[in-house]
Amino acid sequence: MPLDKEEPVNSRPLTNYKVYVKKYEHLDKATLEKIYRSRKNAFIDRRKWDIESYDGGDLECDKYDNHDSVYLYTLNASSVTSCVRLRPSTVPTLLSGPLKWLKAPSTLQETETTSVWEASRFFITPINEGTSRTKGTIDVRTVILFLGMIEFGLAKEIDKFEVVVDALMARIVRRSGWKLDVLDAGTGTSHETIYYGLLDCSKESHQAIRRRIGTGLLPTVIASSLKEHTDIRNSGIEIDPYYS
């Protein structure tokens, strides 16, 4: 879950971004290619990750980009500006496959449940060099994805997201007010320290992020008509009919 340069929360209006949550099979080919191209730029070009599944070309995708995946992403005009991939931990994931070594055997068993999902391939696209930045702020798209993840989790009765983050992303998560429970650490492909941990998915976490950000921005991110989750209001943001 790497993060590129941050854009201050208040530097651009939320109305510049459209937020979507869609299953893999409901994404059109053009949008998928935009996500894969942005991932290649983020992970291969800028972060210099050595991704075993990447075999060249302009797109970064792997075998986990399939019908079990859900994508939470933002658009500005027609450009994908941020995205995170979500997968149930009951199906094959990065953390049950190539990153399995980061998890203790007991943790493997505890997280293989419908109440735990993996969040991976988190990125935001670079911003213009001229965009101002205020010390201590968080990019608005990061806030959108964090709150959107929690709202999606509440709607799907998810208790935890399991993640692998580098030191930079761990600081961003902490700065946002979202508590990261670090369970283990190791060394990534670029010789950086990486952390395996769990993110709580609850109303309390959602409220903590909003308090830490210190703004009325984004009371909800994902529109939902699920009657059993009346705390998630329909905010006019497009959501895959699968989750309506």
**Could you give the angle at the alpha carbon of 116 between the alpha carbons of 121 and 219, nearest 5°?**
75
User: With bands split at pLDDT 50, 70 and 90, how would you rate the model's confidence at 49?
Assistant: low
Q: Quick one: angle between helices 203-213 and 167-176, nearest 10?
A: 90
Give the residue extent of every domain in the chain.
14-243
- Rounded to 5 degrees, what angle do the CA atoms 229, 172, 203 make? 15
pLDDT digits (tens, 9 = 90+) for 187-229: 887 788 999 999 999 999 998 988 887 654 444 555 432 333 3
Q: How many CA atoms lie within 13 A of 50 on its CB side?
A: 6
Task: Please give the CATH topology (third level) of the domain spanning 14-243.
Answer: Aminopeptidase (3.40.630)
pLDDT surpasses 70 at 1: no
Residue 139: its H or E element: none
Report the C-alpha gap between 23 and 216 in whole angstroms: 29
pTM: 0.81
Q: In this structure, what DSSP letter does residue 194 have?
A: E
pLDDT value at position 131? 33
Give the pLDDT band (50/70/90) at residue 231. Answer: very low
Check residue 141 and give its pLDDT: 86
Check if the beta carbon of residue 210 is closer than 8 Å to that of residue 218: yes
Other CB atoms within a 10 A radius of the CB of residue 91 amount to: 15
- Per DSSP, the residues of 55-121 read -SSS----TTSSTT-EEEEEEETTEEEEEEEEEETTS--TTTTTTGGGS-HHHHHHH-STTEEEEEE
Out of 15-29, 86-100, 188-202, least confident range: 15-29
In this model, does residue 64 exceed pLDDT 90?
A: yes
Residue 184 is predicted with a pLDDT of: 92
What does the pLDDT average to over 141-161? 91
Question: Looking at residue 221, what is its pLDDT?
Answer: 52
- β-partners of residue 26 are none
Mean pLDDT of 42-61: 75
CA 141/CA 11 separation, integer angstroms: 11
C-beta of residue 163 within 8 angstroms of C-beta of residue 119: yes
pLDDT for residue 150: 93
Q: What is the pLDDT of residue 115?
A: 94
Beta strand 70-76 with 193-200 is unpaired
Confidence grade of residue 54 (pLDDT, cut at 50, 70, 90):
low
Q: Which two tokens stand for residue 208?
A: 């903590």
At residue 236 the predicted structure's pLDDT band, cuts being 50, 70 and 90, is: very low
Percent above pLDDT 90 for the chain: 45
